[in-house]
Amino acid sequence: MKTERQSGIMAAHMTLDGGHAVPGAAGGGRKRRSPWFQYRKSVSTPAAIALGISAWVIFFGLWELAVPMGWVSELLMPGPQQVLAALYDMIVNRGFLNDVGISIYRVLLSFAAACLFAVPLGILMGAFSSVAAFFNPFVSAWRYLPAPSFIPILLMWFGTGEAPKLALLFVGVVWFLVTLVMDHTRGVRGELIETAQTLGGNRRQILRTVVIPAVMPQVVTAMRQMLAVSWTYLVIAEIVASTNGIGAVMMRAKRFIHTDEIIAGIVVIGILGLLFDYLLRKAHRLLFPYLEEHGR
């Protein structure tokens, strides 16, 4: 019996290794797996912070070495210290914070308008096939049109004020947000809807008390993802006959080949994007604390 058991164990290990026996694979000689590369296993908070900081340290280290090592020209890629000095000068002496505030206003206003349009429509399309059959061909066609291609027509329609910039930011995200919300709504468990129907709920009651609460965590996640896209369209929107905003500052710097100011603008947009992403993550945890408890 003992011999047969040992033979079975050896056969199992040979099968797992493609037909070849693995020395030391059984018993106490099993090779330890790396704690850093295990499928879907979370890392501790200190380790996550250390890894995140390490990525930025490597990035800034390579950036700092780029010019001394002769990889790039200093005119085209100034170092981090020069960029920070330019950013400080822009904030202290040239009112750059006012431009930052204007850009934040444009992104938030256009994104709020996109959410007010896309979230209800996406939920209705995901909940009712007839609504999806009516709107989906229209929404899908708009989703494949590049937003910057609308710049000439937006200038003709709205002139050179705030309207074309807000419209471009709106068009850049709204159709993708509709599709994401629709897909998340279709993912609501059918058992929940069937149970509500069994209990006598009508369409409006089921939509209000079952579908919307079930899909809202995913809707907030979709909003966080699309807000990032809105920030990517900011510079394009502010090229449109604009005299203020981060994009306008970057375009003025381009005329005089002030690369340090252009990179400073890019850095500020990245920081703002990370800040708003963090705020939406915190809002998600506050609005849906039961998801955190369920994940533990």
pLDDT band at 1 (very low <50, low <70, confident <90, very high): very low
Which DSSP string do the residues of 29-43 spell out, in sequence order?
Answer: GPPPPPTTS-TTPPP
pLDDT of residue 35: 67
Q: Is the pLDDT of residue 292 over 70?
A: no
Q: Where are the domains of the chain?
A: 80-295
From residue 79, give the alpha-carbon distance in Å to each of 91, 111, 122, 149: 19, 34, 45, 34
What average pLDDT does this structure show over 229-236?
A: 88
What is the pLDDT, as a whole number, of residue 130?
94
Amino acid occupying residue 172: G
- CATH entry, 80-295, from 2.40.30.60, 1.20.120.50, 3.40.50.1220, 1.10.3720.10: 1.10.3720.10
Q: The whole model's pTM is what?
A: 0.79
- How many CB atoms are closer than 10 A to CB 221? 16
Whether 9 has a pLDDT exceeding 50, the answer reads no
Mean pLDDT, the chain, rounded, equals 84
Tell me the pLDDT tens digit for each residue of 241-274: 678 899 889 988 888 888 999 999 999 999 999 9
pLDDT value for 14: 46
Alpha-carbon gap, residue 215 to 183, rounded angstroms: 10
pLDDT band of residue 294 (cuts 50, 70, 90) is low
pLDDT 10s digits, 144-198: 888 888 888 888 888 878 889 999 999 999 999 999 999 999 998 888 888 888 8
pLDDT value at residue 32: 63
The predicted structure's pLDDT at residue 156: 87
